Structure 1
Amino acid sequence: MTDFLKHHKFSILLILTGVAFYGSFAYDLNRADFIKLVGLYTGLFFISFKLIQLEKTNFWMLAGAAIIFRLVFIAATPNLSQDFYRFIWDGQLILEGNNPYLSVPDNWKELLASLNLTKQKLIQGMGSLSAGNYTSYPPVNQLLFTISTFLGGKSILGSVIAMRFFIVLADLGTLYLGRKLLLKLNLPPYQIFWFILNPFIIIELTGNLHFEAVMLFFFTWAIYLLHHKKWIWSAVFLGISVSVKLLPLLFLPLLLNYFIRSKKIENSGIHALNFKKLLGYYFVVGLTVKFSFLPFISSEFISNFSASIALWFQKFEFNASIYYIIRWIGFQLKGYNIIATAGKMLPLVVTLILLGLAFFQRNNSTEKLLKTMLLAVSVYFFLSTTVHPWYIATPLLLSVFTRYRFALIWSFLVVLSYSAYNDAGFRENYWLIGIEYIVVIAVFMLEILKPKLLSRLPYYK
């Protein structure tokens, strides 16, 4: 024990400091206090960076630190996001036998006086934007909301703790499977801690209850099984991942060359066989997703759910990059916000890019597939009208399995988007958003075009 303390005293000091910083973040931070938010966030990034640098061969110490940091948040109410109120609202509706996809919380406002105190707090807490729209959370997510609400009883904090339990378990699953996949790909296993020990992940997922953690656990499981040629179970888990968050649908076209190898094998019938496997994979994913939606299916559900998804492209704007430039040009040419038009066109551009990556990238190995997935999802977010901070969890995880590190930088700089929240209300600071994306896209381009220029930096070692 004495030798352990002697050889790891600085790391232990870093962990204790991290606990203090996370405690301040969880229990003593107002989202509008941007200076304090950035200060704590920067300090926590330094702590994680030094811990990984010092203990990269000590798996259990890094894993223990990751668990301890998450446990700090156990009884904290999320302070950077209001989404958890909607999660609990949807869970309560299901427990009462109601379909959460068929009504909006605002429809209940006429009955507000007769609603129980918890429901009143939920409607007021989630804010007008969420309360005025149909839910967009897929069925497996809804299942977790329901279980958490049941376990929490009538207590909002109890439901929060239950949801946090699921998210921490999902992160531990990602740690286990991600490390195993790194070893199979002959990559340093400590790289998984750029995700698991990243303050961005701990704060946004465990702290603020975003279920990207669960989606990415099932996604990692799917990729791990795919690497081991267990494509049926891989498809099942990818389908479950889609039923938590829809984002993994983006990756389905990229599997084309993974199944249909680009290497020509004459007269073997190998292409035809693999094409059947590809179709089979798509079929199993689709069947899994469809099965998860069955309890809610109706024509009204399809209409409401589709409308809710479309809103993210055609109505909402937050922390965008290329879209904000397009919007500015639209104001100069048209004199008004062209989001309705741009929101329809940009998904078409993304689709064309995805098809190009699917047909022209040789995604015939797990390493190449993960790299292409990273590029695809990053371009998708660069072209999106709305990029909430927790969205960056997906490119961050994918980057762990590649030589690219721009997503790590993005996971730090995305905190600048919180400058939009202040005591005067909501107002985005476009200078800070500009800094965020200029740096991220510059590194992104350098890594693709001039990787040797960055190879000596610590993040690349």
Structure 2
Amino acid sequence: MFNSAVFKANKLPILLTIISAVLYFTFAYNLERTAHFKLVSIYVLLFTSFYFLIKNNKENINFLTAIAFLFRAIFILSIPNLSQDFYRFIWDGRLILQGINPYLHTPESYISQAQYPVAQAQELYNGMRQLNASHFTNYPPINQLCFIIAGVFAGKSIVGSAMVLRLLIIAADFGILYYGKKLLIQLKLPAHNIFWYILNPFIIIELTGNLHFEGVMIFFLIWSLYLLHSGKWKWAAVVFALSIATKLVPLMFLPLFFWWFLKEQTTKNFIKLISFYAIVLVTILLLFAPFFSSQFIDNYAKTVGLWFSNFEFNASIYYIARAIGYWFRGYNEIAVIGKILPIITILFILYLSFLKKNTSLQKLITAMLFSFTIYLFLSTTVHPWYIATILMLSIFTNYKFPLVWSFIIIISYLAYANADNTENLWVIALEYLFVFGVFIWETILQKTKKSHA
């Protein structure tokens, strides 16, 4: 029975929830990524609604939790409309179930010889498109396990496979909510901070909607940090390895644990540090072991290397360096620049690892935040879903630039508004004007202002 008193008392959150639900449904089932005006308009409205839902309901954790997963449920039967990667996920999972190592052959190598090793092979190949199909898979073992699960429960249905993958990602979000909230409370931070991630339209659309597995990697990362903070460093190492074995990103965080274990420079703590790294390494090797061969190593190294020497999308500093290269040399020097920028990233991470003492969890998380941020700033390829990690890490800090980035990054999809999928560099410049503006304000100008106060 309709209760008018309850509605009047909660009119704004109820209306915002209904509006958001309708917008998410439209996004999931009635949107082409080439419809750039519709895409951006819906996203802006969703983000505005998201902001006011949190601002006006900070204390109502149960309500925010319910609507966060209600919005995810809307996507259950949808096919991703902003990414084709999930077709490759399904291909890999079904290939393993046929007893075939997915790291050894490209989909194109099968289709070009009229071989169809999995159900719906041609349809999957068409969906993932030639660029993806012509490269060896780069998805680590835990990712592959998720693909296998989709193959087990929906081995002959693309929609069914997408549904299984989506349920796994949503389950990971439940884990992020659980451990993220517990960690915030332990660090004496507002528990509602978790909803700047969980309820964020960027996360709902990119992970639940478009089936990117950053959420699963982040779940293991946050769980690992919770275990570390609870003193269970051995289990933290195992879970951290699971995070790496989902996406390789957390590998860059390993040096940052140096001062965490060496708060007190004793032999016992040094042994703990070495043991932590050893557990991580052994766990990763065990997870990769079923796929191991000399050909696997060669293929995997080549595929990972492509991200630094071939692919370009939504970059910032790299595009400036590329323009300077054109100016002086007359051609694209990605092969050179793509090798220099990662070296700068590594040097910065080593600086944060050894010259900044990350002896508290918040200092450690802040170091992770800046390590990955600098990596993204210097990367040749920044797909929107990459920033999910820094968005999650930022909720344990006072930095808001990842939240701003999660809003403005939608305009990177304007590259798909034309037939050639070419980027408009003015649009990219606008995106990074916002991001770098807030980043510089928070990291330099505010600190300078405080030091002179």
Say yes or no: TM over 0.5: yes
Contact conserved, 1:104 with 1:133, CA < 8 A, in 2?
yes
CA–CA distance in structure 2, aligned partners of residues 364 and 235 of structure 1: 17
Secondary structure in structure 2 of the residue aligned to 1:100 = coil
CA–CA distance in structure 1, aligned partners of residues 261 and 190 of structure 2: 27
Matched, 1:358 2:353: yes
Deviation per residue, 1:37-83 (Å, 9 max, x gap): 00000000011101001111000100001000000000000000000
Which residue of 1 is the match for residue 419 of structure 2?
424
Offset of 1:271 from its aligned partner? 2.8
What runs of 5+ residues in structure 2 fail to find an aligned partner? none
- CA distance 1:370–1:109, change in 2 (3 Å): same
Which residue of 1 is the match for residue 375 of structure 2?
380
Alignment of 1:20-419 (within 5 A): 20-112=22-114, 118-261=120-263, 270-419=265-414
Offset of 1:4 from its aligned partner? 3.8
Secondary structure in structure 2 of the residue aligned to 1:101 = coil
Secondary structure in structure 2 of the residue aligned to 1:387 = coil
Percentage identity across aligned positions? 49
Secondary structure in structure 2 of the residue aligned to 1:154 = coil
CA–CA distance in structure 2, aligned partners of residues 29 and 271 of structure 1: 59
Offset of 1:288 from its aligned partner? 0.9
Offset of 1:7 from its aligned partner? 2.2
| TM-score, with length taken from structure 1 | 0.95
Q: 1:13 aligns with which of 9, 12, 15?
A: 15
Letter in 2 for 1:188: P
Letter in 1 for 2:294: S
Offset of 1:8 from its aligned partner? 1.5
- CA distance 1:402–1:40, change in 2 (3 Å): same
Offset of 1:445 from its aligned partner? 1.4
Matched, 1:435 2:425: no
Offset of 1:229 from its aligned partner? 1.2
Contact conserved, 1:94 with 1:100, CA < 8 A, in 2?
yes
Contact conserved, 1:447 with 1:454, CA < 8 A, in 2?
no
Contact conserved, 1:18 with 1:44, CA < 8 A, in 2?
yes
Letter in 2 for 1:29: L
| TM-score, with length taken from structure 2 | 0.96
- CA distance 1:339–1:57, change in 2 (3 Å): same
Letter in 2 for 1:312: W
Q: Superposition RMSD on alpha carbons, in Å?
A: 1.5
- CA distance 1:231–1:115, change in 2 (3 Å): closer
Post-superposition, which runs of at least 4 consecutive aligned residues in structure 1 deviate over 4 A?
A: 113-117, 452-455
Letter in 2 for 1:60: N
Alignment of 1:439-450 (within 5 A): 439-450=434-445
Letter in 1 for 2:287: S
Contact conserved, 2:95 with 2:118, CA < 8 A, in 1?
no
Offset of 1:116 from its aligned partner? 6.8
Secondary structure in structure 1 of the residue aligned to 2:301 = helix
Secondary structure in structure 2 of the residue aligned to 1:133 = coil
Secondary structure in structure 1 of the residue aligned to 2:114 = helix
CA–CA distance in structure 2, aligned partners of residues 442 and 59 of structure 1: 32
CA–CA distance in structure 1, aligned partners of residues 118 and 352 of structure 2: 52
Offset of 1:111 from its aligned partner? 3.8
CA–CA distance in structure 1, aligned partners of residues 160 and 383 of structure 2: 26
Count of residues in Structure 1 that have an aligned counterpart in Structure 2? 448
